[in-house]
Amino acid sequence: MALDDIIQELKFRVKIEDVVSSYNIQLKRSSRNLVGLCPFHGEKTPSFNLYPENNSFYCFGCHAGGDVITFIRKMENLDYVDAVKLLAQRYNIDIPESTKDKGLSNLRNRIYEANKEAARYFHRKLYTQEGQNALNYLKGRGLTEQTIKHFGLGYSTSITYDLTSYLNDKGFKNTELIQANLSFESRSGRIVDRFIDRIMFPIMDLRGNVIAFGGRIMTDQKPKYLNTSDTPVFKKSNNCFALSFAKNSKDGYLILAEGYMDVIALHQAGFESAIATLGTALTKEQAILLKRYTDDIVLCYDSDDAGQNATMRAIPILRDVGLNVRVINIPNGKDPDEFLKTNGENGHIKFKQLIEKSGNDIEYRLQKLKNKLDLDSPDGKVAYLTQVSKLLATFDSEIEIDVYARKIAAELSVAPYSIIQQIDKYKQKDYKTKIQQQRNKNNMEVLVVNDSINPDKKTHLMASNAEEQIISCIINNPDIAGSIISKFPPEKFITSFNKKIYECIVRRFNDKKEFSVMDISGEFSNDENSRIIKIVHNYNKNCNPYEICNDCINVIDKENDKIAFSGDNLSNKSEEDVQKYIDRLKKQKK
């Protein structure tokens, strides 16, 4: 079965609403379409639209869009062929080898295979004489054999080319190992291992593929932890450690801890919903990822200053994507791993009690403000109420604002109205700022500034809009394609991106192939597919598509004439050509 045949089979079998719903995205019917909260950016008001009639989506908030394959590409961080493969597997459609091993898809598969082989190698090394110190370290931290095997923990030896030589013998090229960030080229020109003398933590994606590694040094050498850099299969800001295990937890929440060892200790103690970010501060992308699997996050960072600062940074990021946040306070400055060890057999019970006693993020932040100020002094009280008003002004829920404003007013013996009035002032100021930012954004779009997809649009706005109308009409009305294509070849298109789309349509039409958004999406990037979807849905169904195309062709012809008979181009024209152009202009004026 050829790739085009697979696409046709997917078009017949796959419903985009079923695929989107499988990612725990709630959808509601809106006329003929479906709407929900966008999985690609944090939002509280739905702007994510599904169009079942052509299996496409578009978000009016972040402008992500495309067909069902593009959706899978963005959700799973896959290239086109791998996304088709994943969909085909879900719907029991066989894919021949010839469509699997192409370009980036082949490289990604090789990186997956290299990572898997490296994980096995590291794990075996842990149980050799070379890995004895590493194994003793892990057991000294209280990890059982079962836990070590469950997480696939391992050891990278002190020999600088150990893994590289092993994988070379397994048939992996140095270029593949460098792309996987398992190896790098030293100053001497030799290809050597990235991870040397470290305890190894495999990082897996949601499908169980090993996509990266974290390595912990056992000496005072810096850095203490070394992580795989971004590769074709891994991006730190889009992944979390142990989420492949935690997503199956029945707890109803996810515990967000600070590091690998905390997460592993929590899992061993029975808290299988524990996860961690990957050596970086929590990102919005990670928060959006977590929202797919839960509505509730329990923050459990270390109790030291760094951990508390990280907690304060994480809370607004999590709230902005609609997650409810609770914060665990571990007593005596301990981290989760140390707390569990200290409490021995009662560790599970004691930690469960910490979760049950954990307050929400509002209470946590209010307490942090109190700790910094002297509330017995007038200045301290005023400063506290000012900071509280700024904090509550960031909340959308009027109920939350009212409840906490009254609670704080009672605690400090002030009128609730004075706090709410101050909150309203900050809210109004914030609203004006957001309105101005939106206006600036809208102005940028109107002026077509910084359009990275179709940069030519800025200087050829009329032609670009006309080109987009032609593309939209043809894709929405494929029966008119033949007559339009016969009179208007691709070379007449002025802007490069629109020309690329039209060339794709013409080529497929001439090859007697279909050219819906799903048929052509494989030839474009995710961002380009988003623009195509926007073009396709910017279509007036009440107008005659053939007449629209003819009008647009006239607009583009005029623009081509202007380009051809302006500036330096004019000097290359014959007198006869110039006269014909002048005659056309006179005719148009009549």
pLDDT given for residue 569 in this prediction: 57
Strand ranges, E, within 81-153: none
Q: Which CATH architecture has domain 455-589?
A: Orthogonal Bundle (1.10)
Q: What is the pLDDT of residue 556?
A: 95
**Closest to 268 measured CA to CA, from 438, 430, 149, 104:** 149
What is the pLDDT at residue 366? 93
Cis peptide before 232 (omega within 30 of 0): no
* Residue 37, number of CB atoms within 10 A of its CB: 21
User: What pLDDT, on the 0 to 100 scale, is given for residue 85?
Assistant: 87
**Looking at residue 98, what is its pLDDT?**
55
Domain 103-234 has CATH 3.40.50.720: no
How do the domains of the chain map onto residue ranges? 3-100, 103-234, 250-336+345-364, 373-433, 455-589
Cβ neighbourhood burial of 131 (10 Å; 0-12, 13-18, 19+): buried
User: What confidence score (pLDDT) does residue 231 get?
Assistant: 95
| pLDDT for the residue 280 | 72
CATH hierarchy code of domain 250-336+345-364? 3.40.1360.10
What is the DSSP track for 466-509?
Answer: HHHHHHHHHHH-GGGHHHHHHHS-GGG--SHHHHHHHHHHHHHH
Domain 3-100 has CATH 3.40.720.10: no
- 590 residues of the chain, pLDDT tens digit each: 567 788 888 888 999 999 999 888 899 998 889 999 999 987 888 999 999 988 999 999 899 999 999 999 999 888 888 889 889 988 888 776 555 456 677 888 999 999 999 999 999 999 999 999 999 999 999 999 999 999 999 999 999 999 999 999 999 999 999 999 999 999 999 999 999 999 999 999 988 999 999 999 988 888 999 999 999 999 998 899 999 999 989 999 999 999 999 999 999 999 999 999 987 789 999 998 999 899 999 999 988 888 889 999 999 999 988 899 999 988 887 889 999 999 999 999 999 999 999 999 999 999 999 988 999 899 999 999 999 999 999 888 899 999 999 999 999 999 999 999 999 999 888 777 777 766 666 555 555 556 889 999 988 999 999 999 999 999 999 999 999 999 999 999 999 999 999 999 999 999 999 999 999 999 999 999 999 999 998 877 778 999 999 999 999 998 988 887 665 555 565 666 555 655 655 555 55
Query: Quick one: pLDDT at residue 378?
Result: 92
Q: 3-class SS at 166?
A: helix
Question: Distance between alpha carbon 62 and the CA centroid of its chain, in Å?
Answer: 11
Q: Which residue has the tokens 């989420």?
A: 243
CA atoms within 13 A on the CB side of 468: 20
Phi-psi region of 90 (alpha: psi -120 to 50; beta: other; left: phi over 0): alpha
Residue 334, pLDDT score: 81
What DSSP string runs through 368-398?
HHHHHS-TTSHHHHHHHHHHHHHHHTT---H
Other Cβ atoms closer than 10 A to 499? 17
Q: Is 44 in contact with 70 (CB distance < 8 Å)?
A: no
pLDDT for the residue 585: 53
**Count of C-beta atoms within a 10 Å radius of residue 309:** 12
What is the C-alpha separation between 448 and 433, in angstroms, rounded?
Answer: 22
Residue 246 and residue 273 in contact, taking contact as beta carbons nearer than 8 Å: yes
The confidence score (pLDDT) of residue 54 equals 87
